[in-house]
Amino acid sequence: MENQKITTAKTALNYGIILGGISLVYSLMLFFLDMHYQGDTTTSLIGYIIFIIIVFWAIRDFKKNNNGYISLSEALKTGVGTSLISAIILCIYTIILIQYLDPEFLDKSIEYQKQKLLQEDPEISIENVNKMFDMQKEFSGPFIISGFIIIFNLFFGFIISLIVGLILKKSQPE
């Protein structure tokens, strides 16, 4: 049996699909519970925890399969690659959600945010609230949201990968 060399790309692809799949299932669960447009702290925190755990596992798995060695650059490639693959999966889901599954998603989300803002700050005028959210609506298409998903995932993935890489790095002896 031939011994295959583990690569950061292969590890990132595998774990990116796993992270994207788990995130997709979590997002669909929120959709079916009609909790997908609120964006509250608890649901976001659960998503962040899932993200951190899977990126950590990807980097740790690469190190384990690389005879216990990993450089900081390999950790960054693995983590950011995992983040990118999962972001692409989430972008596809987001476009399908907004275009087909819930065409009123953006309107429901904005209305929910308006009501929340009015409850938190009753002094604010309804006209000012409407102006704020009319401007936000212009920047809320499925492709713009997808762009933000990719940027956020890459940034968050870089930070997590950097931290995990600094903790787990172990250079090969020369």
Sequential DSSP letters for 130-144: HHHHHHHHHT--HHH
Q: Which of 55, 50, 58 is nearest to 10 (CA)?
A: 58
- pLDDT by residue for the chain (174 residues), tens only, comes to 445 788 999 999 999 999 999 999 999 999 999 888 777 889 999 999 999 999 999 999 999 999 999 999 999 999 999 999 999 999 999 999 999 999 898 888 888 888 888 888 888 888 888 888 887 877 788 899 999 999 999 999 999 999 999 999 998 887
- Give the separation between CA 68 and CA 6, rounded to whole angstroms: 12
| Residue 70 bridge partners (DSSP) | 170
The span from the CA of 123 to the CA of 120, in Å, is 9
Q: Report d(CA 82, CA 104) in Å as an integer.
A: 31
pTM of structure: 0.88
